[in-house]
A and B are shown apart, each in its own frame.
Chain A
Amino acid sequence: RKEVEQDPGPFNVPEGATVAFNCTYSNSASQSFFWYRQDCRKEPKLLMSVYSSGNEDGRFTAQLNRASQYISLLIRDSKLSDSATYLCVASYNFNKFYFGSGTKLNVKP
């Protein structure tokens, strides 16, 4: 079983739509969680950390459910520039990071 699992998509949405991604993790000892964004053939870039109380950064909202071991990312008012692959990451022992395979988002005009 993979440490972190995501729906690969693609999610095809029109501009302005709200879209949500979920990701599940198997290791209950995981301590920190992140969402990274990766454009084609580029390095992943940190989008946001995910905190237990949930957190928001502009149009992006991340939630963590420790009881069910899943993380979510909500994107409101989608822009064409949001088209990318979104990687879910769980870490434990402060320096072991496990990546999901990524969820591809296509935002269309």
Chain B
Amino acid sequence: DGGITQSPKYLFRKEGQNVTLSCEQNLNHDAMYWYRQDPGQGLRLIYYSQIVNDFQKGDIAEGYSVSREKKESFPLTVTSAQKNPTAFYLCASSGRDRIPTNEKLFFGSGTQLSVL
């Protein structure tokens, strides 16, 4: 089955610790994204990557880092500089359908990060 796999489903971070969220896709999509969702709020863009070895900051990149060494993989590291990391993190990729030729976002199942 084609899709996006995020792991782990739940993650706990201790103060001062860096943690890494995994995101893998086998949809052959070029573009990948990380979003953060807080309760009762919409999705906010953390980072995105349009191509391997390239990525751009989104609206709330401070305290986060990413890498894109392979097309299939786009891991997100939540660093100790992120003082309020508790949130639901969603990874997505985008690709075009045959008709119409517009990009659509497809999501992984998310990682709930909490602070101990």
Chain A residues engaging chain B, CB cutoff 8 angstroms: 4, 8, 31-32, 34, 36, 41-46, 49, 51, 87, 89, 91, 94-95, 97, 99-102
Q: A32-B102, A43-B90 are in contact. Are A99 and B109 (CB under 8 A)?
A: no
Residues of B within 8 A of A (CB): 31, 33, 35, 40-43, 45, 48, 50, 88, 90, 94, 100, 102-110, 112
Q: Which residues of A contact B103 (CB under 8 A)?
A: 32, 91, 94-95
Tell me whether A43 and B105 are in contact (CB under 8 A). no
Name the distance in Å between A93's Cβ and chain B's nearest Cβ.
9
Q: Which one of B31, B45, B106, B108 contacts A46 once the chains associate, using CB atoms below 8 Å?
A: B106
Instruction: Evaluate contact between A8 and B109: CB separation under 8 angstroms.
Output: no
A43 and B108 within 8 A (CB): yes
| A34-B100 CB under 8 A given contacts A95-B50, A101-B41 | no
Interface-central residue, B35, B41, B105, by most chain A CB under 10 Å: B105
**6 closest Cβ contacts across the A-B interface?**
A43-B107, A101-B42, A32-B102, A99-B42, A99-B43, A95-B31
Q: Is the CB of A102 within 8 A of B42?
A: yes
What chain B residues lie within 8 Å of A44 (beta carbons)?
A: 43, 90, 105, 107
Cα A106 to Cα B35 with chains together (Å): 25
In the complex, the chain B residue whose C-beta lies closest to that of A6 is B42
Residues of A within 8 A of B105 (CB): 34, 36, 44, 46, 89, 97
Q: Collect the chain B residues with CB atoms within 8 Å of residue A91's CB.
A: 102-103
Chain B residues with Cβ below 8 Å from A45 are 107
With A32-B102, A43-B108, A94-B102 as contacts: A101 and B40 at CB distance below 8 Å: yes
